[in-house]
Amino acid sequence: MEPRETAYDPYKYRGSTATLGYWGGLLHLVNCILGGGILSGPFGFKRVGWAVGLIVSAIVMFLIVSSFRLLVKSINEVSRRRKVPYMQFGRAMMECLAEGPDWAKRYRKSVSTYVSSFLVIFHFGVGTMYIDLVTESVKDLIVYFLGYIDYKLVMLMLAPFLIAISMIKTLKSLIPVSFISNISVMISLTMIGYYMFAHSEIPFSDLLMFNDFTYIPLYIGLVLLSNSSLGVLIAIESEMKDPARYLGPLGCLNVGMFLLYILFALFSFCGYWGYGEDTRFYVIDNIPEEEMMSALFPEEARPIFETSFRVIVVAITMFACLLIPHFDIIISLVASVCLCILGISLPGIMDMCLKYPDNYGRWRIVQMRDIFLISFGFIACLAGIVNAGVTMYYRYTGEIRV
């Protein structure tokens, strides 16, 4: 009798690439998911109402966690079947389609290009937003102490630092950066929170529980932007010494996303309560410029790209900051399109293909779940595109104030 073949375990063959511990992974995860969208949370609450904001953000973050868990499990499963330690997102998607029905196999060769393109577009949009935010914050700081300085000059001054950070290739080497960044962000949010209530006299009864429901798609984009780095989320799991602790009940993903929701909901609600109908897109713009503390804000940008393109990408991103108007619409559009497709729809497609043809469970519950994720992702994507287009049209024509 031949001995039974032992199932291939990708985790055992990652070797020297897996150097990240649990706490290091959690630090990176909190750092990369705590995106610039949180600064727009109060504005979103003003638009949709605080009750709708709390509910929609909870639903969206739950779907993000579920979809991302599905994505990581699908990548590991297809890696096990192909007997390789790890696969990049694009290749994993390609191999998953090869396991699926005939209609999916037809797109096998081209899907990797589409996935990579969406990832590049998304991270380019996020990088552009971060550089704009950091430049404006540093500019305000310099103006407070020294007087006038040009926006372009501040961006040029920041370029060497951004390029230097982008040259760090391993997440383990970035742990000190993530630690300092997280501490700086928490201090800054606390300072902003102080200003939210220092001069506010808005009664709670004046806050709207329900407001403009047509703004919900754009608000979903802001929530998605708070989960700002899909590529880094995947990289964290691939570099952990014990990847099983990434998806566990108290793993990095669940703990990090729970902390993000609590912080996002609390910060957004407090910001809306503090400024009411005067809340601006970036809540830091509500802080009085004559106050010394209002000139302080931390840097969050931390791009991770291939070495040969790092300097070029930083330069192009800075150039885009100077040319792209209406960041609130552009950012929400990028997040709606890229994250809805990459983070919600594609994991559903991958899982459905891997379980094809008859591993969908009783009453085909798994297949119905996958179809729901696929449909939700595409509908949210289309809604975000349409809403961004309509909002841009009205903003240029001046027919309504948005």
| CA separation for the pair 337, 121 (Å, rounded) | 10
Lowest mean pLDDT among 14-28, 220-234, 261-275, 283-297: 283-297
| CA separation for the pair 352, 23 (Å, rounded) | 33
**pLDDT at position 312 over 60:** no
Q: How confident is the model at residue 195 (pLDDT cuts 50, 70, 90)?
A: confident
Q: Which range, 41-50, 116-125, 282-291, has the best average confidence (pLDDT)?
A: 41-50
Main-chain phi, psi angles of 20, to 5 degrees: -100, 125
Residue 2's pLDDT is: 44
Residue 229's pLDDT is: 64
**pLDDT at position 302 over 50:** no
Pairwise pLDDT comparison (381 vs 304), residue with the higher score: 381
216-235 average pLDDT score: 70
146 CB-contact burial (10 Å; exposed 0-12 / middle 13-18 / buried 19+): exposed
Give just the sign of the alpha carbon dihedral 337, 339, 340, 343.
positive
Pairwise pLDDT comparison (332 vs 81), residue with the higher score: 81
Domain boundaries, the chain: 18-397
For the whole model, what pTM was predicted? 0.71
Residue 15's pLDDT is: 64
Mean pLDDT (the chain) is: 73
18-31 average pLDDT score: 76
- Smallest CA-to-CA distance from 233 within 348, 57, 15, 70 is with 70
Pairwise pLDDT comparison (165 vs 57), residue with the higher score: 57
**Are the beta carbons of 225 and 335 closer than 8 angstroms?**
yes
Could you tell me which CATH number the domain at 18-397 has? Answer: 1.20.1740
Neighbours of 101 (CB within 10 A): 12
